[in-house]
């Protein structure tokens, strides 16, 4: 029998087991370690974790990253329940002192891309030297923006998911596997 969970009023079924997620993270971390091998203590990469969903992904990357970095966080949001509102709100602004820095945005999921475009615009206004996007999940069929996604761990269909940092009305972030809405 397929594993299912219930959060609030919705039922979700197993979609991506943790072992598959971990393998995908290993592959991304290997690329990051190669691409940022020139990072130094004097010029560390700023790993910018987008709260709250990317916390788990960022933590797993941190265990695997072998180059100097500084961990910072911000929070932008465009979701209400199971769908995007299309309006991006800044809940925790970008940290200070990003000018001239290399920034690696760590995102849990990119779908419409509205949040990532807003974040890139904010980083440009802070005059960062380089900004790259590292996302755990990409809903490729709905992502139509021009912002390059440099590191994508996994592509998924346009379905609502929970687990591994992703939530449904704040529940489900602590589940180690990823579950999909059972429609």
Name the residues annotated as catalytic.
Answer: 111
Q: Is 41 exposed, middle or buried (0-12, 13-18, 19+ CB in 10 A)?
A: exposed
Helix (H), strand (E) at residue 176: none
The token duo for 140 is: 């490729």
Torsion of the alpha carbons at 48, 149, 152 and 62, rounded to the nearest 10: -20
- Phi and psi at 136, nearest 5°, equal -70, -45
Residues 78 and 92: their CA atoms lie apart, in Å, by 13
Residues 57 and 68: their CA atoms lie apart, in Å, by 18
């Amino acid at each position: 029998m397929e594993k299912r969970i219930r959060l609030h009023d919705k039922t979700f079924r197993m979609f991506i087991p943790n072992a598959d997620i971990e393998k995908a993270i290993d592959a991304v971390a290997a690329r990051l370690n190669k691409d940022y091998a020139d990072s130094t203590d004097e010029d560390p990469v700023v790993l910018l974790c987008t709260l709250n969903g990317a916390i788990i992904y960022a933590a797993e990357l941190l265990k695997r990253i072998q180059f100097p970095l500084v961990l910072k966080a911000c929070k932008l949001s465009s979701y209400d329940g199971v769908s995007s509102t299309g309006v991006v709100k800044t809940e925790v602004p970008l940290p200070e002192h990003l000018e001239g820095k290399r920034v690696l945005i760590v995102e849990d999921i990119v779908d419409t891309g509205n949040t990532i475009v807003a974040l890139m615009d904010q980083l440009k206004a802070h005059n960062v030297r380089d900004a790259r996007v590292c996302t755990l999940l990409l809903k490729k069929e709905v992502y139509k923006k021009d912002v390059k996604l440099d590191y994508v761990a996994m592509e998924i269909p346009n379905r609502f998911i929970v687990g591994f940092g992703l939530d449904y009305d704040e529940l489900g972030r602590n589940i180690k596997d990823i579950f999909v809405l059972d429609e």
